[in-house]
Amino acid sequence: MRTIESLGELRSRTVIVRCDLNVPISDGEITDDGRIRASLATIRELRDAGAKVVLISHLGRPKGEPEERFSLRPVAKRMSELLGAPVEFVDETVGAKASAAVAALTDGDVVLLENLRFNAGETSKDDAERLAFAQELAALGDLFVSDGFGVVHRKQASVYDLATLLPSAAGRLVAAELEVLKRLTDTPERPYTVVLGGSKVSDKLGVISHLIERVDTLVIGGGMLFTFLAAQGHGVAASLLEQDQLDTVKGYLRDAEARGVRIVLPTDVIVAEAFAPDAAHEVVAADAIESSSFGTSGIGLDIGPDSAQNFADIIRDSRTVFWNGPMGVFEMEAFAGGTREVARALTETDGFTVVGGGDSAAAVRALGFTDDQFGHISTGGGASLEYLEGKQLPGLEVLA
């Protein structure tokens, strides 16, 4: 994969950098700046080399036209604070205003253009429309650095097509993420444990299928655990259940047993009367969910304390751990215990620990942990999972 060194002399060159600055924003305030911080290493290196830096990114899922709630303006402000240097913001991505701002840059200057997805061509399925938008972007610069790991699994204008139009290379963040993923797939120290949570089994089918022959232990929590319990014949009351995945899960259980891979499920869960932060709740055995006080209307919202302790013990005894997906509804304090214990165990493990982006990264920060307490926190949940599924990622292939 081409790296920044392959681009040659950078001084006075205009370098377009595709970042992933898709951060959560509430009432105009950024609530988690992890992805901005992760982008700083590449930006600083380019500035120090005397490049003129043009940052491009998406935020949220606008429908191909401007929406103020998805503006990158707050990101430019926070980026400037973290970088310790001005980051000019331009409220368009391509056009006369953007061109003028880029033309006015001097060596070491940084400008952030408005949300890529305000332009329909960015995510278009039509190759010609996507390429046309990429050509407008390419006209702004001399070189392209791809550093938005969270989008390298998308064949989008700023991720794929732009890299075909300009001399291009991977940024430091993308290179670091890829090195971690190769370590997880090619040379993991053992015991190797993968902890999966989140809402749905269907979101994790590919990664379970691909990893079941590579890991020693697969730990299952989150909403997806109820489909596993149902596949074992247990009632799950009104908990999240993917009925159409039961046969697939039964197949995983059989396959794991045949391969000698442990699939560890919770022994207890926290069942609530309703999906609400103040809902009445109680701990019940995982195989007796419908015997709770709430009967068949109860909803499982977290793993129980015994399960959390067991999961933590398994993690601490492992030499490699990959975790993707919270153990429960961590946004509600009553149902955050399982996720907190898993996160704490990762910080207490001597081995190599990877938090797989997305909700997991948000959870560890929301629960008070810091990035440096883990071996690596990925900036791309979906990209990480697709890589671990063995899929080809367009944004990486184009940099080969």
Residues marked active site are found at: 35, 200, 358, 382
Does 262 show up as a binding residue in the annotation?
A: no
Query: Sign of torsion, CA 223 322 245 226?
Result: negative
Does 359 show up as a binding residue in the annotation?
A: yes
Does 259 show up as a binding residue in the annotation?
A: no
Indicate the burial class of 306 (C-beta count within 10 angstroms; 0-12, 13-18, 19 or more): middle
Does 376 show up as a binding residue in the annotation?
A: no
Does 22 show up as a binding residue in the annotation?
A: yes
Does 358 show up as a binding residue in the annotation?
A: yes
Asked whether 270 and 304 are in contact (CB, 8 A), the reply is yes
Does 60 show up as a binding residue in the annotation?
A: yes
Pairing label, strands 143-146, 88-90: unpaired
Does 204 show up as a binding residue in the annotation?
A: yes
- Print the SS3 string covering 21-43: CCCCEECCEECCCHHHHHHHHHH
Residue carrying structure tokens 């009632």: 235
Does 117 show up as a binding residue in the annotation?
A: yes
Pairing label, strands 268-272, 281-285: antiparallel
At 361, list the tokens: 């990264």
Length of the chain: 400
Helices marked H in the chain — which ranges? 34-48, 73-83, 96-103, 127-138, 162-165, 172-186, 205-211, 225-231, 246-259, 305-316, 337-347, 358-366, 381-388, 394-397
Q: How far apart are CA 103 and CA 107, in angstroms?
A: 11
Does 300 show up as a binding residue in the annotation?
A: yes
Does 58 show up as a binding residue in the annotation?
A: yes
At 375, list the tokens: 């071996």
Does 20 show up as a binding residue in the annotation?
A: yes
Does 360 show up as a binding residue in the annotation?
A: yes
Does 125 show up as a binding residue in the annotation?
A: no
One-character DSSP codes across 133-153 = HHHHHHTT-SEEEE--GGGTT
Q: Which of 186, 203, 209 minimizes the C-alpha distance to 358?
A: 203
Q: How far apart are CA 394 and CA 152, in angstroms?
A: 6
Detail the residues annotated as belonging to a binding site for substrate.
20-22, 35, 58-61, 117, 154
Detail the residues annotated as belonging to a binding site for ATP.
204, 300, 331, 357-360
Detail the residues annotated as belonging to a binding site.
20-22, 35, 58-61, 117, 154, 204, 300, 331, 357-360
Detail the residues annotated as belonging to a binding site for (2R)-3-phosphoglycerate.
35, 117, 154
